[in-house]
A and B are shown apart, each in its own frame.
Chain A
Amino acid sequence: KAGVTQTPRYLIKTRGQQVTLSCSPISGHRSVSWYQQTPGQGLQFLFEYFSETQRNKGNFPGRFSGRQFSNSRSEMNVSTLELGDSALYLCASSLDSYSNQPQHFGDGTRLSIL
């Protein structure tokens, strides 16, 4: 079974631009969560999607948004990029969002803002 797939792996943008990251969960997994990883702040929860609905949102500004499609694939978008948005963005999937199923991570998208 293929793991969680994130595209692209690397991305370079400039301040003020916007970016869309994609995540394909493990087949059969219906829950997708996004995390930001930085050396200073560690792993921080962004949002969680299940059945195309956002179940939880972390403490990030409205510039960070996401969505989930009917096939469980998810995208996250960051608008008006700032230097501080440089990070590794990780996606994780699990079977469902209600019974603490193990989450499995993708390799991440490394976003660099110039």
Chain B
Amino acid sequence: GENVEQHPSTLSVQEGDSAVIKCTYSDSASNYFPWYKQELGKRPQLIIDIRSNVGEKKDQRIAVTLNKTAKHFSLHITETQPEDSAVYFCAASIETDKLIFGTGTRLQVFP
């Protein structure tokens, strides 16, 4: 079945620096790739998503890139702020709502 690997598991950056989180998926039929941010004790919150017919998508300080050939996608956060500190999850799905999640990346942004 589908498997999603996510790296790194923890990431510490200085405020204002950029952060990059990478995910690799196993099923080439995957065509939807959302990213969720989960703060401590809160629900996962969708922050950006990308479909397989698009190579890159940007929303203010957040961008996602997709390389279908290599079967990996990445989240890029620029000009990080302390409020960006959270656990970030990537996920993949094939035409349905069955999301296969990565193991999460704990991002810490130090002031």
Contacts and interface: CB of A to CB of B under 8 A. Distances in A.
Interface of A: 31, 33, 35, 42-45, 48, 50, 55-56, 58-59, 90, 92, 94, 97-108
A108 to B, nearest CB: 6
B45 A105 contact: yes
Contact of B44 (A58, A90, A94): A90
A98 B31 CA distance: 12
22 contacts: A33-B97, A35-B101, A42-B103, A43-B101, A45-B98, A45-B99, A45-B101, A48-B98, A50-B97, A55-B96, A55-B97, A56-B96, A56-B97, A90-B43, A90-B44, A92-B97, A97-B96, A97-B97, A100-B93, A104-B46, A105-B44, A107-B43
A56 B101 CA distance: 15
A97 B49 CA distance: 16
B32 to A, nearest CB: 4
Contacts of B89: 42-43
A102 B102 CA distance: 17
A102 B97 CA distance: 9
Query: Chain B contact residues (Cβ within 8 angstroms of A): what range?
Result: 20 to 34
Given A42-B103, A42-B104, A43-B89, A103 B43 contact: no
A39 B75 CA distance: 22
B46 A102 contact: yes
B61 interface: no
Nearest to B33: A100
A99 B97 CA distance: 9
A102 B49 contact: yes
A101 B34 CA distance: 10
A92 B93 CA distance: 14
Contacts of B68: none
